[in-house]
Each structure stands twice: as structure tokens, then as C-alpha cells.
Amino acid sequence: MEIYGLQKLTLLDYPGLTACTVFLAGCDLRCPFCHNYELAVRVSEPVMDEEDLTEFLGRRKGLLDGVVFTGGEPCLSPGLPALMGKVKDMGFLVKLDTNGMHPVILEELISDGLVDYAAMDIKNSPGKYAVTAGLPDKAIDMDALRRSIGLIKQLGEKGEFRTTVVAGFHEESDFEAIGQELDGAFQYFLQPFVDRDTVPDRDLRAPDIEELHKYAEIAKKFIKNVEIRGL
């Protein structure tokens, strides 16, 4: 399997643990605020193959706790379950970042014991999901997303939901609707958009900080732990 990026050490991507982050290519969404856009649309080149990765991990045994699989959307890579299995056999914990569009694969990965922690993006309230995911003319499969939400909820503290909050895309009523979807979830993170100029022809802005705090208060009516990340 081809690997499109490797961050050799992260203290942020896997909560509470030291990890490396493995980037896989391809995504079925086109979020205008994507920080890995070239990778999502598959215009970047692989940096290594699976063997190179396992060699690297062999040298990091005892130094890293976990491996984060991110993208793009990792569930689109057919070799993901086998690679996760190898990584777990080497003694690492595995975290999966997902956009939640592939509940069947997500369920298999979880039931096969391949996922120790999972983070799912919630792009916006259902009515604005397609436009926020950069696909205004497409119907987003909300049933699929809700199945994934259910699976992540079942993970309890080993699962998280998160929303990248972008000025002009999100408003208070969206967090009421998102809260209803996530009702009973263990944790939810609001992440203010940071402009890294990664998507061509986009002029997006970070949200107002006061607004962000209001959104978090709304979400707290439904979710036990709500935090703003990255301020």
C-alpha cells in the first residue's frame, strides 16, 4: 500500500500518547477548508510504501505509543485493515481519523479490534452538510453518517467528534442541530479554522472567538465533554 505522508512524531494527534501520523490518499468529500487538499484529490505523490513504513515503525518500537491513520479518508484505502493489523501486531495502538462516510468499513475495523481510538469529523448541521463538505450539488448520505456516529458513540472515551468551525459556514442554530445528532456522545471538539492557504481559490476566515464559545455552550446541552481545541 502506498503512503502519501508520514509525520514521524506527533504529541497532538493521538490524545495523551506519542504517535506518528500516516497520511493516505483520496477522499470522497471536498471540504473547502481541507488542510490536505492535494492528498484528498490525489495529486500528490506517495512518499513510501508499506514496507518502508513497517521498517520505520520497527525502529520506533518503545519510542512511540501509537500510529494515527489519517488522510484524505483512510477507509477508502483497501489495504487499510491489513496494514492496521500489522501495526497492531508490532505493538502499537491505532487511531483512525474518518469523515464517517463509510460505516460498513468502520464497523468491520472496530469489530476486528483494529481501532483503539477513532475521531470523526462532523462538517455541519444536516441541512448544510453538502455545502460545507464542498459538494453543494450532491446528496450526502446522512444515514451512513448517522451509522458512523452511532459506532463512535459506542467507543465512549475512545471516540471523539470534531468540527472545524469556519466563519460564514457555521452559526448558532447549526450547533443545536449537531448537538441533537451527537446527543449522548462522550466528547466533542470545536476546532477554529486556521488559514494555511491550502485550497486554491478559497478565501476563508477563522470564526469569531466569542461566537465559538457560544457554539460550545450550545453543544454542552447534549454532550458530556465539549472543548475548543487549538486556541
Residues that bind ligand SF4 (CB under 6 A): 27, 29-31, 34, 36, 40, 71-73, 99, 121
Q: Is the CB of 57 or the CB of 67 nearer to ligand SF4?
A: 67
* DSSP SS3 for 119: strand
Q: Is the CB of 35 or the CB of 213 nearer to ligand SF4?
A: 35
Classify residue 79 by its DSSP letter. Answer: T
Q: Is the CB of 64 or the CB of 75 nearer to ligand SF4?
A: 75
Contacts with 74 (C-beta within 8 Å, 6 or more apart), sequence order: 24, 80, 96, 97, 98
Q: Is the CB of 64 or the CB of 152 nearer to ligand SF4?
A: 152
Least CB distance from residue 192 to ligand SF4, whole Å?
Answer: 15
Cell representation of residue 103 = 460505516
Instruction: Using alpha carbons, list the distances in angstroms from residue 114 to 64, 183, 201, 210.
Output: 17, 26, 38, 39
Contacts with 177 (C-beta within 8 Å, 6 or more apart), sequence order: 125, 126, 127
Least CB distance from residue 47 to ligand SF4, whole Å?
Answer: 17
Q: Is the CB of 70 or the CB of 187 nearer to ligand SF4?
A: 70
Least CB distance from residue 51 to ligand SF4, whole Å?
Answer: 25
Q: Which of 174, 191, 187, 183 is nearest to 221 (CA)?
A: 183
Least CB distance from residue 30 to ligand SF4, whole Å?
Answer: 5
Contacts with 104 (C-beta within 8 Å, 6 or more apart), sequence order: none
Query: Is residue 88 packed enough to be buried (19+ CB in 10 Å), middle (13-18) or exposed (0-12)?
Result: middle
Least CB distance from residue 26 to ligand SF4, whole Å?
Answer: 9
